[in-house]
């Protein structure tokens, strides 16, 4: 065994996610009910672990929100399951929050093809990670968020190191204890889930933990950008019939107008739900509503308070 392979083997051997789970030693002989019970029991531990990391996650949310406020991007870098979760989270932001597709992006080791078929070797190169950062012309106030269950993926390390050289803020999401990391970042979000139900299968508890943290990061930052009114997403993009009907329902819910009136109002607002709501609730025309929303950072509630003050 070469020296490099020996070092990699020894690091892998020590990872918490690569240990055997004593609670599932007999899962190979379990029936279906026992299998799903064992998996569910382990999954319940994930939310409890994340609860212990809420202060760190909240700080990361504020950092992302501040970046968004001055035109920065949130760029996820990952490989395998971790990378795919970043791509999924990023792709859901435009239809959910009406954000520019450039604002949150997921970058996979191996490129788009790696979403469906593993690209051998791509995740093992720090240079490829650094090159991908370079291709995206990363610069402050962009934020780079590395996602790696093991905490050691070279591709992710390369991206983070290059981003730091460029003066960007960095976030690292991992499911091993931060003590096992050998990289410096601004925000470490470690959720040490321990041994997986099936040894090394980090698409399970690790994947669940990462998805939960990603949900918090983008949802929290978007809420801080005025993308939600009360607890309803009001900045959605009307990219299909379902979302058009959802937009009308949201307008009806808050303004108490009829379906036909909501349809007409949405058209007058050029398909922008927030504008339509401020128009109706504030008694304003489209231009006045747009100006007021912009003045108040996109927050409907703040805009309406100004109208009624």
Whole-number pLDDT of residue 11 = 60
CA distances, 16 to each of 68, 160, 202 (Å): 35, 23, 11
Whole-number pLDDT of residue 8 = 55
Whole-number pLDDT of residue 309 = 76
Distance CA(216)–CA(12), nearest Å, equals 29
Identify the DSSP state of 151: S
Contact of 110 with 117, CB cutoff 8 Å: no
Q: Long-range contact list for 8-12, CB < 8 A, 24+ apart?
A: 11/152, 12/150
Per domain, the residue ranges of the chain are 9-224, 228-308
Distance CA(56)–CA(54), nearest Å, equals 5
pLDDT in tens, 225-268: 999 999 999 998 888 999 999 999 999 999 999 999 999 999 99
CA distances, 256 to each of 123, 203, 219, 259, 268 (Å): 53, 45, 27, 9, 17
Whole-number pLDDT of residue 293 = 96
Which strand (E) or helix (H) includes residue 74?
strand 74-78
The CATH number, out of the four listed (3.40.30.10, 3.30.1300.10, 3.90.420.10, 1.10.8.1080), of the domain defined by the range 228-308: 1.10.8.1080
Distance CA(40)–CA(34), nearest Å, equals 10
113 is catalytic: no
CATH no. of 9-224: 3.40.50.10490
CA distances, 105 to each of 85, 86, 197, 211, 218 (Å): 11, 8, 31, 15, 11
123 is catalytic: yes
Upstream peptide bond of 95 is cis (omega within 30 degrees of 0): no
Whole-number pLDDT of residue 122 = 74
Options 92, 126, 261, 288, the catalytic residue: 92
Maximal CA-CA distance, the chain: 75
Whole-number pLDDT of residue 15 = 72
Options 42, 123, 162, 196, the catalytic residue: 123
- Residue numbers of the chain with a pLDDT score lower than 50: none
Distance CA(10)–CA(174), nearest Å, equals 19
The token pair that represents 11 in the structure block: 């690091």
Query: pTM of this prediction?
Result: 0.89
171: which strand partners? Answer: 145, 187
Whole-number pLDDT of residue 18 = 78
């Amino acid at each position: 065994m070469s020296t490099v392979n020996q070092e990699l083997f020894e690091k892998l051997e020590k990872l918490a996610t690569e240990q055997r789970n004593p609670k599932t030693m007999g899962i190979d002989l379990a029936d279906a009910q026992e299998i799903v019970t064992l998996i569910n029991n382990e999954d319940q531990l994930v939310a409890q672990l994340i609860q212990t990391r809420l202060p760190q996650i909240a700080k990361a949310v504020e950092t992302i929100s501040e970046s968004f406020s001055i035109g920065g991007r949130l760029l996820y870098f990952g490989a395998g399951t971790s990378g795919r979760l970043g791509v999924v989270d990023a792709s859901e932001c435009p239809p959910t929050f009406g954000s520019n597709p450039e604002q949150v992006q997921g970058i996979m080791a191996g490129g788009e093809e790696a979403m469906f078929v593993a690209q051998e070797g791509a995740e093992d190169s720090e240079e490829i990670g650094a090159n991908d950062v370079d291709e995206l012309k990363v610069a402050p106030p962009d934020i780079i968020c590395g996602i790696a269950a093991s905490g050691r993926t070279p591709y992710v390390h390369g991206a983070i190191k290059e981003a730091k050289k460029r003066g960007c803020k960095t976030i690292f999401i991992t499911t091993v204890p931060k003590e096992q990391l050998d990289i410096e970042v601004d925000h470490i979000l470690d959720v040490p889930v321990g041994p997986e139900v099936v040894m090394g299968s980090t698409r399970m508890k690790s994947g669940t933990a990462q998805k939960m943290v990603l949900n918090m990061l983008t949802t929290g930052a978007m809420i801080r950008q005025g993308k939600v009114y009360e607890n309803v997403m009001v900045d959605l993009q009307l990219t299909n019939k379902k979302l058009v009907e959802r937009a009308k329902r949201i307008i009806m819910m808050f303004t108490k107008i009829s379906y036909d009136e909501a349809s007409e109002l949405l058209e007058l607002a050029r398909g922008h739900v927030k504008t339509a709501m401020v128009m109706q609730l504030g008694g304003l025309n489209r231009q006045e509503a747009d100006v007021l929303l912009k003045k108040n950072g996109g927050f409907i509630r703040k805009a309406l308070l100004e109208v009624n003050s």
